[in-house]
């Protein structure tokens, strides 16, 4: 690994959360990295560490302006609009042994909110603590209003991954869009490569919002939130077809995303992007690709709670034999990440 650039970036875990970053765009880069860099860093949970027990309530201990702190932004040397940033997540591991989920007044898929207004009172505000066992790879759910307890699989992911938006826009870290952002898809786990279109010089990449696990849709609006230690490999693709909306690639699947309201339009974006990606990979016409995707894609809902909703389209790679996605960069970055992790064992 002697010829590989490695950046160990220490996140400020002190109490002054106002100094953290809560937007995509509008913030100066915290560090500069070269393409091909291994980034070994961490992130706070969406509460900026302010929830410590089931007795804490978000509305009482958190500043609503200081939610979803991001690690970064990172200036990627040589990145220019039209390029594609590739981020491979080699490792995403909970930093702590506790995670927390909550209900928040006027937030969530099954309650009235600021957009869907009703006359009834908000649902009760409650907090649940989850014990995280990294050795057993489990998350323990304990009910609040009964004695029930369930053991769930640990499935760490990042809810928020993105770059600065186009047109010098500044967007809240609570919002997903074509720049990425708060997509909240469980597919953003270790072993996955995320592709983001670059909108500004340097890309200004940020990430955060670690979840020990999350169901598709993130129904109550809050996953098992926890700080994360994350290792990723970041590279740059030039001269490739543009990536207009975030893409993901695992060993077994290619995935596209769409984020907007209403939900059906988020679905349409993700499916249109998959149609174009399959056409790009196979040489099929758009209409032939449309037919193929119609018979092969899955459409998990990432979230129906954020200011924009996110839907994912997934197609298995084994249904597309011989494709060379994004010039094979997923495997190259995966190999780099695994080699680095082997040196830490």
Helices and strands (H, E) in the chain, number of each type:
4, 21
Residue 47 and residue 209: Cα distance in Å, rounded?
Answer: 9
- Cβ atoms < 10 Å from Cβ of 296: 15
Q: Which residue has the tokens 């990606």?
A: 277
pLDDT in tens, 303-340: 999 999 999 999 999 999 999 999 999 999 999 999 99
For CA atoms 239, 314, 111, 45, the dihedral sign is: negative
> How many percent of the chain have pLDDT more than 70?
98
CATH of the domain at 229: 2.60.120.580
CA neighbours closer than 13 Å in the CB half-sphere of residue 137: 4
Q: What are phi and psi for residue 277, nearest 5 degrees?
A: -70, -45
β-strand pairing of 228-237 with 37-43: antiparallel
Q: What are phi and psi for residue 166, nearest 5 degrees?
A: -75, 170
- Residue 344: which pLDDT band, with cuts at 50, 70 and 90? confident
165 part of a folded domain: yes
The beta strands (E) that lie in 118-156 are given as: 127-133, 138-142, 149-153
pLDDT in tens, 36-55: 999 999 999 999 999 999 99
129 part of a folded domain: yes
- Cβ atoms < 10 Å from Cβ of 135: 6
64 part of a folded domain: yes
pLDDT in tens, 102-136: 999 989 999 988 888 989 888 999 999 999 999 99
Partners of 21 in beta bridges: 70
β-strand pairing of 6-8 with 37-43: parallel
332 part of a folded domain: yes
Could you tell me the CA-to-CA distances from 155 to 99, 142, 226, 317 in Å, in that order? Answer: 12, 17, 12, 22
∠ CA 200-207-277 to the nearest 5 degrees? 65
1 part of a folded domain: no
Residue 321 falls in which region: left (phi positive, over 0), alpha (psi -120 to 50) or beta: beta
51 part of a folded domain: yes
100 part of a folded domain: yes
- Cβ atoms < 10 Å from Cβ of 45: 28
pTM, to two decimals = 0.96
Parent domain of 151: 6-344
Task: Give the number of domains in the chain.
Answer: 1
Is residue 275 within a helix (H) or strand (E), and if so which, with residue range? helix 263-282
224 part of a folded domain: yes
């Amino acid at each position: 690994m002697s010829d590989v650039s490695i950046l160990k970036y220490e996140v400020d875990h002190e109490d002054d959360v106002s100094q953290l970053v809560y937007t995509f765009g509008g913030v100066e880069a915290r560090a500069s990295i070269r393409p091909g860099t291994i980034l070994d860093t961490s992130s706070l949970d969406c509460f900026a560490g302010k929830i410590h027990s089931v007795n804490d309530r978000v509305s009482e201990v958190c500043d609503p302006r200081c939610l979803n702190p991001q690690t970064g932004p990172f200036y990627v040397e040589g990145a220019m609009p039209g390029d594609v940033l590739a981020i491979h997540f080699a490792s995403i591991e909970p930093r702590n042994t506790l995670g927390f989920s909550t209900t928040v007044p006027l937030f969530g898929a099954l309650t009235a909110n600021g957009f869907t207004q009703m006359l009834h009172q908000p649902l009760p505000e409650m907090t649940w603590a989850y014990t995280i066992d990294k050795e057993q790879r489990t998350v323990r759910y304990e009910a609040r209003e009964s004695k029930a307890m369930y053991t769930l699989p640990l499935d760490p992911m990042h809810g928020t991954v993105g770059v600065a938006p186009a047109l010098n826009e500044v967007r809240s870290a609570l919002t997903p869009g074509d720049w990425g952002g708060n997509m909240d898809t469980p597919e953003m786990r270790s072993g996955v490569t995320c592709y983001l279109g670059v909108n500004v010089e340097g890309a200004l990449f940020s990430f955060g919002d670690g979840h020990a696990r999350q169901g598709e849709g993130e129904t109550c609006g809050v996953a098992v939130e926890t700080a994360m230690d994350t290792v990723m490999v970041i590279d740059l693709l030039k001269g490739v077809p543009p990536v207009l909306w975030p893409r993901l690639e695992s060993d077994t699947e290619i995935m596209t995303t769409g984020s907007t309201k209403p939900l059906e339009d988020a679905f349409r974006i993700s499916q249109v992007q998959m149609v174009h990606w399959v056409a790009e990979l196979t040489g099929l016409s758009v209409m032939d690709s449309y037919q193929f995707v119609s018979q092969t894609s899955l459409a998990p809902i990432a979230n129906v709670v954020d200011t924009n909703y996110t839907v994912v389209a997934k197609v298995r790679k084994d249904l597309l034999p011989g494709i060379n996605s994004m010039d094979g960069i997923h495997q190259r970055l995966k190999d780099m990440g695994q080699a680095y992790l082997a040196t830490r064992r």
